[in-house]
Amino acid sequence: MRTFDADGFRLRASVVLFSPCFTHVLLVSSSKRPCELVLPGGGVEPGEGAAEAARRELWEEAGALAGAGSLAPLFSGAAVVRKRARTAAFFAVAGAPMGGEAVAYPEAGARRRAWVPLGGAAAALSGSAVGAAVWEGAVAALGVPDLSDAGAVGAAVRALAAAAAAAAKAVV
């Protein structure tokens, strides 16, 4: 069942999952266009928060787990608005090496996973308006001019995660 906000926009959540070495991002094939790659994500279900939906979608579509507290908001509360939907975007770092995701997961037969080099993610997501917008926001949030610099990407991801954790503690 879909959920909508007060303005009639469908609520969605998406995840940018970085590899442990900060060189790749996990994409999955689109359910509507199997030849295209998208970020794991989908609709927020009734009674579910955006982070909860992002965690669930990551598991259902990619077989990757993100534990409680491991997802951090990408745009400090903002959402990507495309196609009458508001997408809350989160990022996480994979806890297992690339290829260490589950073999059996809800959409295993319908989707393929692909670890795409960070420098190739924009091109890989060009067929997905929401995915391209989320990735563009992720790159802007990272503020790293050279995505092939894994050390700089890792430092930026860790800094974003620390800022998100500090903001969450300030709210409590």
Structure tokens at 64: 């990757």
Structure tokens at 138: 């992720």
Total Cβ atoms within 10 A of residue 132: 20
Query: Each residue's pLDDT tens digit in the chain (172 positions)?
Result: 789 988 888 899 999 999 989 999 999 999 889 899 999 999 999 999 999 999 999 999 998 887 656 788 886 555 677 778 888 899 988 877 667 777 888 888 889 999 999 999 999 999 888 888 889 888 988 899 999 999 999 999 888 888 888 877 776 6
Give CA–CA dist 170/58, Å, rounded. Answer: 27
The residues that bridge with 104 in the sheet, in sequence order, are none
Q: Where are the domains of the chain?
A: 10-171
Question: Is the pTM here over 0.85, yes or no?
Answer: yes
Look at the domain 10-171 and name its fold.
Nucleoside Triphosphate Pyrophosphohydrolase (3.90.79)
In what helix (H) or strand (E) does residue 26 lie, and over which residues does it extend?
Answer: strand 24-29
